[in-house]
Structure formats: structure tokens, C-alpha cells
Chains A and B, each alone.
Chain A
């Protein structure tokens, strides 16, 4: 309470302050007048009298201050006066103020934004209880790498393991949600009942799956995601127990998952048991998108779990060599997998943003250093006029704090904007990015870092100058001398800035080259103008292969009849869609493998028109035709890579291969190679793909299809026609992901493009900041040496040599920075190597471009002050004292 009164009094005083100040001034004025009048009446000259009285009074301003002391107003008043002065200073020196503000804002804003994003992506954990107990288990073979887990293998793992409290299997499976007259695709997931125990979530409504639900003959049940439930069913609670139509089959809704249960934003979960006997799933050798999650027992180490799983897998390999030979189990933390893919992107950005913050800090510091040296004169003057040192330092502190805080405010606004921008462009390529929000701890940290660097380097030279007597300070200020230490600091800052900026530039250069290479890379087919979309023949209607083939052919014909369509092809999977289908195969005439699984290739099912639609060239043999149907001898077309590996010295046409590792027991199992086509990059241009085997769709009628449509040149957009045609064929089957093939191609290196863009922007900012820093330091140097240059010119120095002198001193700093930057880059660029394509980490072009660009910018930054130096007139320079 007492404090409150004290503050109230201070506040009142503050309000009264101006009045009181005026009264005091009037009082003193009256005093002076009366004293003068007194003296004049004694016969003194009025002007002399006034002089005398004023002398007697001493410093009127400090007198006023002393009175204010007694008003208890000192601190607040001082602050206000300092602030007023500070704002005047800021406005007076607009260029300087703007530079500092922009530097601070950029340093603080961008660093905070990027850190906020990084924080979300790198340092947050999975949204499940005890996330560090969650592991993912894959089957693994040296040839095929990480694999899905076949259902029979999973069941044996489940029965034999002792390391996990629970272990479950799931696979993604989109559904067509059918409503009376329309249908659309929803994100679906099929999982065993124990998969949900692994994740440890409980539904917000209804119940979870039980062991009984997870059975081939059980009633069809479904659990909906909260978001889907809200959007599609208006959060209707009575949905529990209702039936919904998925792929033409009725499923009973039994529960709702909470929204924050983030597992790929699934709309509908169904028990895996319902489909466990479908198609190839019961085969131990078919590993089709089925993945396994498990939860470690409390206190169980991942190493022990690994050992156990490897032992189980090796037992299974000897029990079922036909399907399991060469296969082991790979246990990895889910956390690592979940966030690992985004982390290199984020780490790169984080590193780059820290570089930018360092540049900003050293820029601010060197500018402050320069300015406070420049202002020593002013402060010396103030001290000599009676200001005390504490006041001067206080004034300077307030000035810098005001500057820093203003910069900080702009920085916050910038950070907010940049975070939103980053979120929008990282959406889709970085997991959980939507959760990113401004991190205030980082903001405070960045603000403190920049402020501190600004204050420290502003105060240091001042303290030094204030310790001198005022006359010394004044004298010294006018001479060109400066402590060697100050000079060294400034040079260091410029060198550091150039080193950091060149590192960023080189990184950006490497990424630019990578992206250009990717754009120019040839996936093996033309992407121009082509359209693709997914279409799945889901539902009981299409259980028969014949029906699937008829419908596919019907769709293809209808699409081809759309005006402007040149050719329509059908395949699964399509290149660049990110789906691969690796399988083992046996090549006739080669030894039967004993220990390993032999050979493998990627299998693609296509129709007869596919190669024509895609523009993939047939090199020898023939294409598939209408006679390659079910029941006829099985045929395949292979690619050049397959030939290189399996038939390096002979003609592959007419040779036979078989699925699996061994020769087929049934002679009908042989597949004859009838043609060879060019190899295409199947996954993305950046990742070399495996050898490929094409099979006729007619002999392998799959459910999932990708249509590729090659329009005639300059065809009009036909997206709507496509949808219309497809919906006439079956309105319950939605057209998904209709897109240009080119965007799939470009989308494949979205990450590289993204890093290039961000690194490029950061490097550009760094370049600007470094240039500003160099400009500031060099022009200050010129100002300091005005007298020296004047004398040189007076005694006959060539103006050109003066200019060269200035340029060379700037170039020395820039060159040293650049050299250090290149060395640092050589050390750091190997961290980028994983993201590069077709570029060496020691790419000369990138290094040279960065050097040239920085050199040019450095030259411009020095040129202006250098020109100023040559224009110094000797007389003016000598009078400058």
C-alpha cells in the first residue's frame, strides 16, 4: 500500500512537473532581474550587471535539476527527457536509424520465425502417451531395403515376442464414402485391434476395437476421426450405432477418435481382421503396405527388443525359406522416423537463420562502434558543459534501448508474418507444421542477443572517452586517431559478416544448381501437358477380375472419346507417384539362390496403350496386345536397366522369368520377356530407381489404377469432362488427384526447391546486411581520415591513389571474410550433400559465383565512400578540426 501511495505521489508529481518547472524558471528569472535592477540602481551598466548576476548563479540548468531531485522526480523525468532526446536523435539520423532498425528486425524476426518452426518440428514429441516407447518394425532385406510386414509374419512376431506390451499392424486404405447419389474419397486405415493399444488412445465417444471386431467374419465396424465426424456428420453424437457406406459395404460406427490423435489425419479406421483373408494378404511372401507398430515394455531397451526381433526373424527365415530367406526385422523409434524426414530441411534453415542473426548482431555492433566513436566528440562536449558522466551514459543507454526496442517490435511483427508464410509454404513437406506458433522465448533470446551486441559495443568506446578529461576527449575526437582495439573490432565484424554471408551464398548456390539440375533431369518420359488421376475399383462390385478389366477398358475408351485427347494409358503404380512395388524374381538359367533371395525388380501393371500415352520408347520386341489376356501365356516387358543387370551379354527377348526366388513349380508360372523399353526414373528424378518389369494389366487386373491422358497439342482444359465421363461409368468411384504429370514431376523435388528458395532469401538478406556493414565501416574510416587524405592531396597525392587506398582497405576485409567463408563452407557443405543432386559439394561454379557476387557487392559498398574520399578538398580537410 505504501508503495502505491509513493507511486501515486510520483505520478501526481509527474503531472505537476511541467507547472513546477515553469514556476522555478520564473522564480529564478525574477531573482536575476531584481539583482540586476539592484546593481543598475547602484550605477552599473545593465549588460555588465546581467553578466555578473548570471555568473553568480552558476549553471542554471543543473540548478533546476537539483531542484527536481528534491521533487523526487529524478528517474522518471530523466527517462522522459532521455527518450525525448533519443527520438530526436533517431529522427535526426534517419539513414542510420533505418539501417539499425532493419538489421535488428531482420535478425530478430527471421531467426524467431525459423526457430519457432524448428521447435515444432524437431523438439516436440509424438502426440501419444510415453512416445519414447513407440517403435516401428519393418522386414528388411539387403536387396529390397525396408519392407512392409506380411500378415502371417506379423502374427508369428506377435505370438513369439516378449519385448513389447503390445504389437499391432495397420495399413492405409482409402475408402469411397458413398452417399445416395455421390461418392468421395476419404482417408482410411485398417488396423489390428492391438495397434490402437500400442498407440494408447481412447475414443472421445463410443468404444475402441476389440479382439472380436478384428476377425474376418465379424460385423463390419468403423471408428471415425473427430475432424471428419464434425465436418461430415456435424458432430452428431447419435452417429454411434449408425451404418455408413464405405466402398459399397455398410459399416457400423462404434467410436470417435479425438482430434489431437494425430495419425495422418485419418477419417475412418476399420479392423484389419475383416480383410485379412482377402487377396494376397494371407501369403507370407506378400508385403503389401502392411506396417507394424509396437510399444516397448517399461524399462525395456530398444537394443534388447532388436536382438529378440532379429532372432525371431531368423527363426522364421529358416522355417519359411521360400518367403523369408534373407529377411530380418528392423526396429526403429517411431519418433525418429516421424520427424527424421523433415529434420534435415529444418536443421539447414535453422543453421542459416543463426548465421543471419550473427550477421545482424555483428552488423549492429560494428555500426554502434562506429557511431559511438563518432559521438565521442559530442559527449566530450556535453561533459565539458557540465553534464555528469552518469547522465551521458544514461542518455546513450536509453537511446540505444529505444532503438533496440523499436527494432524488436518491428522484428516481432516480421516474425509473425514470416512464421505464417513459412507455414504456408512448408505445408505438406514438413510434418505438423500447422502447429508452429511464435516462440516468445526465442524472440526474447534474439532480442537480447542483438541488443546486447549493440549496447556492449556502443558503451565500450564511450566509457573510454569519458574517462579522459573533456578537453582531451574534444581534442582527440577531432583527430583521426582511434584506439587500435576499436579498429580491430570493427574489422573483425566486417570479416565475420562476409564469412557468414559467403557461407550462406555458397549453400544457396549449391541448392540453386541442384534445383536446376532436377528441372533439367530426364525422368525418361515427357511430362508435358499430360494429365493423371487415380481411380480405385473398390467395393464388392469389382471383386471379379473380369469386371475390373471391362470397367477399366470402358473408362479408357470413354476418356479417349473426349475431344482433344490423343491417347489414354492405364498403369499401377505410375512413375513419380511415390509408390513402388518391389518383388523378387527368378531368371531362367541363373543359379537358384541358396542363402539370399536372389534377384528383384519393380513390377508395374500396364495396359496396351500405356507406353504410347507416356511416350516411353520400345527398343526391341513388341508391346502388349489384346491377346495377352488372362489364361494366355504370361508375358512381360522389361527395361534397359533390367537387361543390363540380368542379361548383360544376351538378347533378353524370349527369355523367361518367374515371380519369387525359385523356378516355378507350375510351368504356367513362367513369364516370357517380349519387349524391352527405356528405363524411367520411377520414384523421383533425384532418386535412381530399380530395374523394372512391366506386366499386362489384362493378366494382373489390379483394383488401384492410375490413368494418364495425353492430350493433343494445344488442347483445351478437359478436367471437367474427365470427371463427368468417369462419374457416368460409376458414380460411386471418385476421381482422385487429377493433376498435370509435370506438377508431379516438379512436386518430387519440392523439398529441394523449398530449401533453395529459403536459403536463397536468407543469403540475399545476409548479402545486404554484410554490404551495409562494410559500407558503414569504410565510410567511417574515410571520415576519420579526412584530414589525412586532405594532407595527402595537398602535398600532391593522386586522387586515384586515394580512391585505391580506400578500396583496397575495404577489399582486404571483404577478401579475408570471403576466404574464411569458403573454408567454413568446405567444412559445412557435406551436411548439404544429402540434398544435392548432380552437384559436388565442392562445386567450383557455386563457390566462384558466391565469391564474385560478394566481391561485387563489397566493391559497391566501398566505392561510394572511396569516391567521397577523392573529393575531399585539402583546405576543407585541414579546417575540419
Chain B
């Protein structure tokens, strides 16, 4: 199981990024802000790892980036989720649920 869970965990950030892009296209800072918001501060995102994650997603063809003007009038790079990204997110969500149930079952068992 070790390997799969690792993959899942490594993918967690990417999943969260994809999730944050479902509602609208965002730039990096917007994504980090959104993630803080939806997690209600339950975990602190390492901002440093956000950009590598974005580049990996773009390379895999799950998101695409384009230059646009931000709400504050700054030129910024926006990220947009692609259909392949949405599909991956759904699959990963299912996997994640399965995984977390398994973890829960182990942790809550009375052994």
C-alpha cells in the first residue's frame, strides 16, 4: 500500500489546486488564497510547493495558463482547468475517498 498512498499524498496538493480552479480561473496567489479559505486554516499550505505543482499540472495537460490582467490591474498568469483535469480530479476524488475510508477503518477499529 505504501507506494499508492504516497502517490495519493503527493497528488493531494495537485488535487486541491485543480479543485480550486473548478469555480474560476485563478493566478498563483489567488489559488493559494482560495486554498487557505476552503481549508479554513486547517492546514498551512507551503506556498513554495504551489508553483512546481502548477508547472507539473500544466505539463500533464490538466491545466493551461494564459496571461491576463488581475483584479488589481496587474499583469498575471492565470490558470484554467482543462477537461482532462476535471476528469482526473473526479477519479482522484474517488480514490481519495476510498483511501480515507480505509485509513478511517483502520484507525477506528477496536483491535
Q: How far is the CB of A353 from chain B (nearest CB, A)?
A: 54
Question: A58, B48: Cβ atoms under 8 Å?
Answer: yes
Closest to A35 in B: B29
Q: How far is the CB of B76 from chain A (nearest CB, A)?
A: 6
A72 surroundings in chain B (CB, below 8 A): 59
Closest to B44 in A: A56
Question: A28, B59: Cβ atoms under 8 Å?
Answer: no
Closest to B52 in A: A66
Question: B32, A70: Cβ atoms under 8 Å?
Answer: no
Of B29, B56, B72, the contact of A31 (CB 8 Å cutoff):
B29
B47 at the interface (CB under 8 A from A): yes
Of B33, B47, B58, the contact of A57 (CB 8 Å cutoff):
B47
A59 surroundings in chain B (CB, below 8 A): 48
Of B47, B55, B59, the contact of A56 (CB 8 Å cutoff):
B47
Instruction: Report how far A66 CA is from B56 CA in the complex, Å.
Output: 10
Q: How far is the CB of B45 from chain A (nearest CB, A)?
A: 9
Closest to A53 in B: B47
A63 surroundings in chain B (CB, below 8 A): 48-49, 51-52
Of residues 7 to 45 in B, which have CB atoms within 8 Å of A's CB atoms? 27-29, 32-33
Indicate the member of A30, A57, A58 with the most B CB atoms within 10 Å.
A30
Q: How far is the CB of B89 from chain A (nearest CB, A)?
A: 19
B111 at the interface (CB under 8 A from A): no
Instruction: Report how far A34 CA is from B33 CA in the complex, Å.
Output: 10
Question: A57, B48: Cβ atoms under 8 Å?
Answer: yes
Interface string of A36-78 (1 = CB under 8 A from B): 0010000000000000000011111001001101111000000
Indicate the member of B49, B51, B58, B72 with the most A CB atoms within 10 Å.
B51
Of A31, A66, A70, the contact of B47 (CB 8 Å cutoff):
A31
Q: How far is the CB of B94 from chain A (nearest CB, A)?
A: 25
A242 at the interface (CB under 8 A from B): no
Closest to B45 in A: A56
B4 at the interface (CB under 8 A from A): no
Instruction: Report how far A610 CA is from B56 CA in the complex, Å.
Output: 100
B27 surroundings in chain A (CB, below 8 A): 27, 30
Of residues 66 to 97 in B, which have CB atoms within 8 Å of A's CB atoms? 72, 74, 76-77
Closest to A69 in B: B52
Instruction: Report how far A56 CA is from B49 CA in the complex, Å.
Output: 10
B6 at the interface (CB under 8 A from A): no
Closest to A66 in B: B52
Question: A34, B51: Cβ atoms under 8 Å?
Answer: no
Of A24, A35, A71, the contact of B51 (CB 8 Å cutoff):
A24
Of A38, A58, A70, the contact of B55 (CB 8 Å cutoff):
A70
Closest to B58 in A: A70
B59 surroundings in chain A (CB, below 8 A): 70-72
Instruction: Report how far A731 CA is from B10 CA in the complex, Å.
Output: 101
Known A58-B46, A70-B59, A71-B59: A34·B72 in contact at CB below 8 Å: yes
A23 at the interface (CB under 8 A from B): yes
Instruction: Report how far A164 CA is from B22 CA in the complex, Å.
Output: 97
Of A23, A30, A66, A70, the contact of B29 (CB 8 Å cutoff):
A30
Q: How many pairs of A and B residues are in contact by the CB < 8 Å rule?
A: 53
Q: How far is the CB of A860 from chain B (nearest CB, A)?
A: 56
Question: A28, B51: Cβ atoms under 8 Å?
Answer: yes
Q: How many residues of B contact A (CB 8 A)?
A: 19
Q: How far is the CB of B27 from chain A (nearest CB, A)?
A: 7
Instruction: Report how far A823 CA is from B109 CA in the complex, Å.
Output: 83
Of B52, B72, B74, B76, the contact of A70 (CB 8 Å cutoff):
B52
Known A30-B28, A58-B46, A70-B56: A23·B51 in contact at CB below 8 Å: no
Q: How far is the CB of B67 from chain A (nearest CB, A)?
A: 9
B72 surroundings in chain A (CB, below 8 A): 34
The binding surface of chain B is classed by DSSP as helix
Question: A71, B29: Cβ atoms under 8 Å?
Answer: no
Question: B55, A34: Cβ atoms under 8 Å?
Answer: no
Instruction: Report how far A67 CA is from B29 CA in the complex, Å.
Output: 17
Closest to A62 in B: B48
A56 surroundings in chain B (CB, below 8 A): 46-48
A58 surroundings in chain B (CB, below 8 A): 46-48
A31 surroundings in chain B (CB, below 8 A): 28-29, 32, 47
Instruction: Report how far A72 CA is from B59 CA in the complex, Å.
Output: 9
Instruction: Report how far A27 CA is from B56 CA in the complex, Å.
Output: 16
Instruction: Report how far A38 CA is from B37 CA in the complex, Å.
Output: 14
Instruction: Report how far A72 CA is from B32 CA in the complex, Å.
Output: 25
Instruction: Report how far A23 CA is from B46 CA in the complex, Å.
Output: 21
Question: A30, B76: Cβ atoms under 8 Å?
Answer: yes
Of B33, B46, B58, B76, the contact of A27 (CB 8 Å cutoff):
B76
Of residues 491 to 536 in A, which have CB atoms within 8 Å of B's CB atoms? none
Closest to A64 in B: B51
A30 surroundings in chain B (CB, below 8 A): 27-29, 74, 76
B33 surroundings in chain A (CB, below 8 A): 38
Question: A27, B48: Cβ atoms under 8 Å?
Answer: no
Question: A67, B77: Cβ atoms under 8 Å?
Answer: no
Instruction: Report how far A205 CA is from B80 CA in the complex, Å.
Output: 83
Q: How far is the CB of B20 from chain A (nearest CB, A)?
A: 15
Of B49, B52, B56, B77, the contact of A23 (CB 8 Å cutoff):
B77
Instruction: Report how far A69 CA is from B77 CA in the complex, Å.
Output: 20
Instruction: Report how far A540 CA is from B32 CA in the complex, Å.
Output: 113
Q: How far is the CB of A115 from chain B (nearest CB, A)?
A: 51
Q: How far is the CB of B57 from chain A (nearest CB, A)?
A: 9
B51 surroundings in chain A (CB, below 8 A): 24, 27-28, 63, 67
Instruction: Report how far A177 CA is from B27 CA in the complex, Å.
Output: 96
B48 surroundings in chain A (CB, below 8 A): 56-60, 63
Instruction: Report how far A59 CA is from B47 CA in the complex, Å.
Output: 11
Instruction: Report how far A763 CA is from B21 CA in the complex, Å.
Output: 75
Instruction: Report how far A72 CA is from B56 CA in the complex, Å.
Output: 10
Known A27-B77, A31-B29, A35-B29: A67·B47 in contact at CB below 8 Å: no
B56 surroundings in chain A (CB, below 8 A): 70
A67 surroundings in chain B (CB, below 8 A): 51-52, 55
Q: How far is the CB of B68 from chain A (nearest CB, A)?
A: 12
Instruction: Report how far A67 CA is from B59 CA in the complex, Å.
Output: 10
Instruction: Report how far A266 CA is from B76 CA in the complex, Å.
Output: 85
A66 surroundings in chain B (CB, below 8 A): 52
Q: How far is the CB of B14 from chain A (nearest CB, A)?
A: 11
Closest to A34 in B: B29
Question: A27, B52: Cβ atoms under 8 Å?
Answer: no
Instruction: Report how far A250 CA is from B74 CA in the complex, Å.
Output: 103
B47 surroundings in chain A (CB, below 8 A): 31, 35, 56-58
Instruction: Report how far A69 CA is from B28 CA in the complex, Å.
Output: 19
Instruction: Report how far A507 CA is from B7 CA in the complex, Å.
Output: 70
B55 surroundings in chain A (CB, below 8 A): 24, 67, 70-71
Instruction: Report how far A286 CA is from B107 CA in the complex, Å.
Output: 115
Of residues 58 to 117 in A, which have CB atoms within 8 Å of B's CB atoms? 58-60, 63, 66-67, 69-72
A57 surroundings in chain B (CB, below 8 A): 47-48
Q: How far is the CB of B66 from chain A (nearest CB, A)?
A: 12
Instruction: Report how far A69 CA is from B27 CA in the complex, Å.
Output: 21
Could you list some 24 contacts between A and B, CB below 8 A? A27-B27, A27-B51, A27-B76, A30-B27, A30-B28, A30-B29, A30-B76, A31-B28, A31-B32, A34-B29, A34-B72, A34-B74, A56-B47, A56-B48, A57-B48, A58-B46, A58-B47, A58-B48, A63-B48, A63-B49, A63-B52, A67-B52, A70-B52, A72-B59
- Chain B positions near chain A (C-beta within 8 angstroms): 27-29, 32-33, 46-49, 51-52, 55-56, 58-59, 72, 74, 76-77
Q: What would 4 more interface pairs be, CB under 8 Å, given A31-B32, A35-B47?
A: A30-B27, A35-B29, A58-B46, A70-B52
- 4 shortest interchain CB distances as A-B pairs: A58-B48, A66-B52, A70-B55, A34-B29
